[in-house]
Amino acid sequence: MPAYEVEHVVPLNSQQKDEIAQSITAAHTSLFTTPSLFVNVRFTDTSNQDVYVGGKKVELSVPRQHVAKEAYLIQKRTNRILAHVRPGGGRSSTQFNELCSKLELMWATHARQSDSGGPDDWDLRIFVLGSIVAGSEGGLPLPKVRLDLTFQPRSETDDANRMIDRQAGEDAKWIQDNFEIFKARANSGDQDYVDLLEELKGRSDLHA
């Protein structure tokens, strides 16, 4: 369902990547009706890629050990999280803003654990993109959402009950329609689906 791309110019070790991926998954599933199994996270080291901000190339910081102290110039580097999500579905601007806040906290908690790089190298930019209009997970078509080509989140003044119904309805129905497939895969020993069935027991938002 959602696909998160973490583009980082600062070094991240395996433990940090594990913690960041787990935190992104927890943040998304706490706000939207998505099982953990279907939250995708990919890490890309972009420290050697050309990046432009404001039409100007962003130069990478030079490690301190390679230059004289008095010649060291700190130049901002940019880390990015691109969150590709499904548009519509009753999601509100408040939810997306909360998602950004959770991602900011996650980055501060799990990424800023190294002394490498200059103080500006940990700068994070977040982009939430309503770009997923169709796809498949595990060979199954993604659940339908109300498509809004302008991708305008519903305002908080909308009818809350209708918002909740539209947000949860199709995802919960998709789970129900494919439950026997999930169960068969779990029974065949697929640990991903064993974990999915266990998670569904405690996810009332995914009960049709």
Residue 156 has pLDDT above 60, yes or no: no
72-122 tens-digit pLDDT: 344 456 899 999 998 776 778 899 999 999 999 999 999 876 555 555 678
| pLDDT tens-digit series, residues 136-155 | 888 888 876 655 444 455 55
Q: Please, which residues have CB within 8 angstroms of residue 3's CB and are 6 or more apart in sequence?
A: 40, 41, 42, 84, 132
Where residue 127 sits, what CATH number does that domain have? Answer: 3.30.429.10
Based on the structure, what is the number of domains in the chain? Answer: 1
- Side chain identity, residue 146: R
pLDDT of residue 80: 94
Q: pTM here?
A: 0.77
Model confidence at 5, pLDDT cuts 50, 70, 90, reads very high
What phi and psi, each to the nearest 5 degrees, are found at residue 86?
Answer: -80, 135
Q: What is the mean pLDDT of the chain?
A: 80
pLDDT the model gives residue 130 = 85
pLDDT digits (tens, 9 = 90+) for 21-71: 999 999 999 999 899 999 999 999 988 888 787 888 776 554 545 444 433
Cα 140 to Cα 44, 137, 181, 185, distances in angstroms: 27, 5, 10, 13
- Indicate whether 163 pLDDT > 50: no
Among residues 63, 85, 84, the alpha carbon closest in space to that of 72 is found at 63
Q: Determine the structural domain holding residue 141 and report its residue range.
A: 3-206
Give the position of tokens 């992104």: 24
